């Protein structure tokens, strides 16, 4: 089973170009499944639908969330599809299995006023403050994932033409326009602050920590949390909240769904459609506040 798992993970990495975090999730989910069937003393080639259903029941008994069970079943289904393609199994026991329905949770978003309060907090009188301002403006201005932000290199941005080039999930590259505030902040950072943080001339990372190395996800998260606290924001703040806010504010101000999908780097437009629910909620709230008979 370990050998089959290695083959499958290699297939996902090479053929489908999945990110390391995604590969790690597949590996972890399948290892848990393997431990279950090892206890039952069942060979992969002999596995039937009933055993997989028993595993799902086992997960429910452990009080796993529906989203977790759906993810694990998706990993098992992908694994058996691969085994069938490779001729290792003849019948795919997962072909007609469906996971529990996921409960759609609307993402947390900040209002434009809350965003502005956070963006006002970094100080422009020291290199770290100038860097922080540039990072926050870029993350909110381009709607990137935090992993995409910290992986930017100096040559990833073009402030003259006003765009950023980033590599997202599955190593897919996309070009995102930058707003004037993000461009101004990035230029201020590049013209002096970055050089003051730089220790090694061969370091090409755009955003550097105080040791002159590429900033980490954890480092950025702490920075964002600190500014949110300074701004008096009581909501739970993560870097992804700025991404959700970016999409929501675009749609609320007339952007079309297809364009927002492109900027977010979503493969499927249905992933982006969750933001239309937020937009609908906003319309309902406006109606209730504005209509005399509401």
Tell me the three state secondary structure of residue 223. Answer: helix
Check whether residue 119 and residue 75 sit in a common domain: no
Write down the catalytic residue from 169, 213, 214, 225: 169
Check whether residue 124 and residue 223 sit in a common domain: yes
Write down the catalytic residue from 27, 165, 213, 266: 266
Give the C-alpha distances (Å, rounded to integers) separating 266 from 67, 107, 256: 19, 16, 14
Query: Count of domains in the chain?
Result: 2
Check whether residue 50 and residue 143 sit in a common domain: no
All residues at 6 or more sequence positions from 248 whose CB lies less than 8 Å from its CB, including other chains: 109, 275, 278, 279
Q: Any catalytic annotation for residue 40?
A: no
Check whether residue 9 and residue 133 sit in a common domain: no
pLDDT the model gives residue 65: 85
Task: Quote the pTM value.
Answer: 0.60
Structural contact between residues 154 and 164, judged by C-beta atoms closer than 8 angstroms: no
- Residues 169-194 have a mean pLDDT of 90
CATH of the domain at 37: 1.10.150.130
Check whether residue 48 and residue 193 sit in a common domain: no
pLDDT the model gives residue 102: 57
Check whether residue 80 and residue 134 sit in a common domain: no
Q: Any catalytic annotation for residue 277?
A: no
Check whether residue 160 and residue 79 sit in a common domain: no
Q: Any catalytic annotation for residue 240?
A: yes
Q: Range of 51's domain?
A: 2-85
Q: What pLDDT digit, counting tens, does each position of 31-50 carry?
A: 999 999 888 888 888 888 88
- Residues 126-140 have a mean pLDDT of 96
Strand order through the sheet with 173-177 = 157-158, 163-167, 173-177
Check whether residue 67 and residue 155 sit in a common domain: no
Write down the catalytic residue from 77, 131, 145, 244: 145
pLDDT the model gives residue 99: 62
Domain assignment of residue 294, yes or no: no
Q: Any catalytic annotation for residue 291?
A: no
Q: Any catalytic annotation for residue 249?
A: no
Domain assignment of residue 48, yes or no: yes
Check whether residue 65 and residue 137 sit in a common domain: no
Give the C-alpha distances (Å, rounded to integers) separating 159 from 137, 163, 208, 262: 13, 6, 18, 20
Check whether residue 260 and residue 124 sit in a common domain: yes
CA distance 229 to 24: 33
pLDDT at 18 over 80: yes
Structural contact between residues 180 and 158, judged by C-beta atoms closer than 8 angstroms: no
Check whether residue 35 and residue 171 sit in a common domain: no
Q: Any catalytic annotation for residue 275?
A: yes
Write down the catalytic residue from 77, 243, 244, 249: 243
Write down the catalytic residue from 140, 189, 227, 275: 275
Give the C-alpha distances (Å, rounded to integers) separating 221 from 15, 116, 132, 148, 226: 32, 18, 11, 14, 9
pLDDT the model gives residue 90: 86
For residue 110, is it left (φ>0), alpha (ψ between -120 and 50) or beta? Answer: beta
pLDDT the model gives residue 28: 93
* Residues counted in the chain: 294
Write down the catalytic residue from 240, 258, 277, 287: 240
Structural contact between residues 279 and 256, judged by C-beta atoms closer than 8 angstroms: no
Residue 283: band (very low, low, confident or very high) from pLDDT cuts 50, 70, 90: low
CATH of the domain at 158: 1.10.443.10
Domain assignment of residue 145, yes or no: yes
Domain assignment of residue 93, yes or no: no
Query: What rounded mean pLDDT belongs to the chain?
Result: 86
CA distance 266 to 108: 18
- H-type helices in 91-171, by residue range? 112-119, 127-142, 146-150
């Amino acid at each position: 089973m370990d050998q089959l798992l290695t083959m499958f993970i290699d297939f996902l990495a090479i053929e489908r170009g999945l990110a390391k975090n995604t590969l790690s999730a597949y590996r972890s989910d399948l290892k848990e499944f393997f431990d279950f069937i090892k206890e039952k003393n069942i060979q992969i080639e002999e596995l039937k639908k009933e055993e997989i259903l028993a595993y799902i029941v086992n997960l429910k008994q452990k009080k796993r969330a529906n989203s977790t069970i759906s993810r694990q079943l998706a990993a098992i289904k992908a694994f058996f599809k691969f085994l069938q393609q490779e001729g290792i199994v003849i019948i795919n026991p997962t072909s007609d299995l469906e996971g529990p329905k996921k409960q759609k949770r609307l993402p947390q978003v900040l209002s434009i006023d809350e965003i502005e309060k956070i963006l006002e907090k970094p100080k422009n009188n020291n290199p770290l403050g100038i860097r922080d301002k540039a990072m926050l403006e870029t993350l909110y201005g381009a709607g990137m994932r935090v992993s995409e932000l910290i992986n930017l290199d100096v040559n990833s941005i073009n402030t003259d033409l006003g765009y950023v080039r980033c590599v997202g999930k599955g190593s897919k590259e996309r070009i995102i326009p930058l707003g004037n505030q993000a461009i101004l902040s990035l230029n201020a950072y590049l013209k002096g602050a970055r050089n003051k943080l730089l220790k090694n001339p061969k370091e090409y990372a755009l955003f550097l920590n105080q040791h002159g190395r590429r900033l980490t996800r954890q480092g950025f998260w702490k920075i964002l949390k600190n500014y949110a606290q300074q701004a008096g924001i009581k909501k739970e703040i993560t870097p992804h909240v700025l991404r959700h806010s970016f999409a929501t504010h675009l749609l609320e101000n007339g952007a079309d769904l297809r364009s927002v999908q492109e900027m977010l780097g979503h493969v499927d437009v249905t992933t982006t459609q969750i933001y239309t629910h937020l937009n609908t909620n906003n319309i309902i709230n406006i109606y209730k506040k504005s209509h005399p008979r509401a």
